[in-house]
Amino acid sequence: MTFRMSKTIFVLIVIFIGSKTALGASLESLISKRDLPAGWALIRGPQTYNKKTLFGHINGQAELFLKYGFQKSVFSIYQSKKNRENQIEVDIYDMGNVLQAFGIFSRFRNEDRPGGFGLDSFLDDHSSFFYKGKYFVMAYATESNPDILRQFSTLILLKMLDSSLPPKEISYFPKHGLKPGSIQYFPEGLLGHQFLKRGFQGIYVEKVEVQAGAKAKAEVKVKVEDKDKAKTGDTEFHLFLAIFKDSQEAMNALKVYKDDLSKKGKVSSGSLIEFGTRALKGEDPYQGKVIVLQKGFYLLGVVGFEKEEEAENRLAEFIKNVKLTS
């Protein structure tokens, strides 16, 4: 072998190793085998699944993962050396990119209980979810053990090299009134409308005061401390952001939305000049009052509100936050 040939081979090896490092560690290498929490051992795995074999692992949820761009996953089980019944099951999913990783995370998080790790996380006594970059991680404990779940999550995070930021659209949602942990991403059928395609939605809380009627007070005996007391209840509405390939497609979707609302609900003739010319206002028979408008390749809207002023204020803030960058 000549010196020139050996030098070429060396350069190719360096390029291969460098590219592999840039892409991040292999999925299987994210499963910790050493330096585990004290008293724990790996008893199964890593076991890898692809698009064809995923149904054999999580049959009831596989279709949802595939809709969000699932690429590959790896599974393992850890066991306490003191108690064989005490186990931790770990699934690490490669979802292709950070948007899809957040999306599947947002569908599993059913309340706001952040664990403080990853780009966002959920932690309770028996389960831990988080996402970072293109990865989504789920861990389940057979016994209540949030501290151990946190330790295993941290071990996995230390091996992840993907430094992608959270989807920018999350930051567009106004903070005031936003229900913590409620923002979700849907790859299709946003708000149940196929014409809206993919996008985000977040839940907002508005306060509604309900006063007891004078006649009811006279007729019904209640406790002294409850008399003349206003009952306050929370109602919810949604802000949503639908994403299209360009402004023309967004404009077409707004027209379809108007046609759909005309057939099934009601379209208002009220002025929406403050929101721009391409806007729609009406009422959906299932989702309630709705305001929708176009901004570039986005459709923004508010739906299901009671107080029009509050809904319009949130929507106006939403519009200001949205940046038209691809």
CATH number of the CATH domain containing 55: 3.40.1000
Residue 199's pLDDT is 97
For residue 153, what are the CA distances in angstroms to 10, 81, 118, 272?
37, 19, 9, 48
Statement to judge: residues 99 and 192 lie in one domain: no
How far is residue 298's CA from residue 90's CA, in Å, rounded to a whole number?
Answer: 37
pLDDT at residue 254 greater than cutoff 80: yes
| H or E element that contains 91 | strand 87-94
200-214, 220-234, 279-293: segment of lowest average pLDDT:
220-234
Statement to judge: residues 50 and 137 lie in one domain: yes
Give first-to-last CA distance, the chain, whole Å: 50
For 303-325, write each residue's pLDDT tens digit. Answer: 999 988 989 999 999 999 998 87
Number of structural domains the chain divides into: 2
Is 15 inside a domain boundary?
no
Statement to judge: residues 132 and 181 lie in one domain: no
Top-confidence residue, 221 or 244: 244
Statement to judge: residues 37 and 130 lie in one domain: yes
Of 159, 178, 194, the residue at which a domain comes to its end is 159
**Burial state string for 71-91 with b = 16 or more CB within 10 A and e = fewer than 16:** bbbbbbbbbbeeeeebbbbbb
pLDDT at residue 230 greater than cutoff 50: no
Q: CB count, 10 Å around CB of 139?
A: 23
pLDDT at residue 3 greater than cutoff 80: no
Q: Tokens representing 175?
A: 């903070």
Of 159, 177, 208, the residue at which a domain comes to its end is 159
Backbone angles phi, psi at 43, to 5 degrees: -115, -10
Statement to judge: residues 103 and 152 lie in one domain: yes
**Structural domain of residue 113, as residue ranges?**
25-159
| Mean pLDDT over each residue of the chain, to the nearest integer | 85
Of 127, 159, 191, the residue at which a domain comes to its end is 159
For 32-52, write each residue's pLDDT tens digit. Answer: 888 899 999 999 989 999 999
Residue 55's pLDDT is 94
Give the 3-state secondary structure of residue 168: helix
pLDDT at residue 18 greater than cutoff 70: no
For range 12-28, the mean pLDDT: 50
Top-confidence residue, 209 or 135: 135
Could you tell me if 42 and 31 are in contact, meaning their C-beta atoms sit under 8 angstroms apart?
yes
Could you tell me if 137 and 156 are in contact, meaning their C-beta atoms sit under 8 angstroms apart?
yes
Top-confidence residue, 58 or 272: 58
